[in-house]
Amino acid sequence: MRHGKYRFIVGFLALPLLLYGIFVISPFVQAFQISTTEWSGLRGTAKGVGLANYTKLLHSDEFWNALKHNVVMLVLVPIVTLALGLFFAFMLNIGGRSRRGAVVTGVRGARFYKFVYFFPQVISITIISVIWFNIYNPDPHDGMLNSLLGTVGLGSFQSAWLGEGSLALACIMVVMVWANVGFYVVLFSAAMAAIPREIYEAALLDGASRFHTFFRITLPLLWDTVQTGWVYMGIIAMDAFALVQIMSVNMGGPDGATDVVPLRLYLTAFRDSQFGYAAAMGVAMLVVTLLFAALTMRFARRERIEF
> 95: closest CA among 179, 177, 188?
188
pLDDT band at 121; cut points 50, 70, 90: confident
CB 35 within 8 A of CB 53: yes
DSSP, collapsed to helix, strand or coil, labels residue 279 as helix
* Residues 260-269: contacts with CB under 8 Å, at least 24 apart: 260/66, 260/69, 260/70, 260/73, 261/63, 261/66, 261/67, 261/70, 261/285, 262/238, 263/66, 264/62, 264/63, 264/66, 266/241, 269/41
H-helix or E-strand spanning residue 48: strand 47-48
Give yes or no for residue 16 having a pLDDT over 80.
yes
For the ranges 102-111, 147-156, 209-218, 298-307, the lowest mean pLDDT is seen at 298-307
The distance from CA 237 to its chain's CA centroid, rounded to whole angstroms, is 4
Give yes or no for residue 82 having a pLDDT over 60.
yes
Give yes or no for residue 161 having a pLDDT over 60.
yes
Bigger pLDDT: 306 vs 5 = 5
Give whole-number Cα distances, 104 to 83, 114, 154, 254, in Å. Answer: 21, 18, 41, 50
User: How large a percentage of the chain has pLDDT more than 90?
Assistant: 24
Amino acid at position 178, single letter: W
> 213: closest CA among 224, 223, 200?
200
Give yes or no for residue 152 having a pLDDT over 80.
yes
pLDDT band at 254; cut points 50, 70, 90: confident
What does the pLDDT read at residue 103?
58
- Average pLDDT score, the chain: 84
Q: Tell me the pTM.
A: 0.85
Give yes or no for residue 173 having a pLDDT over 90.
yes
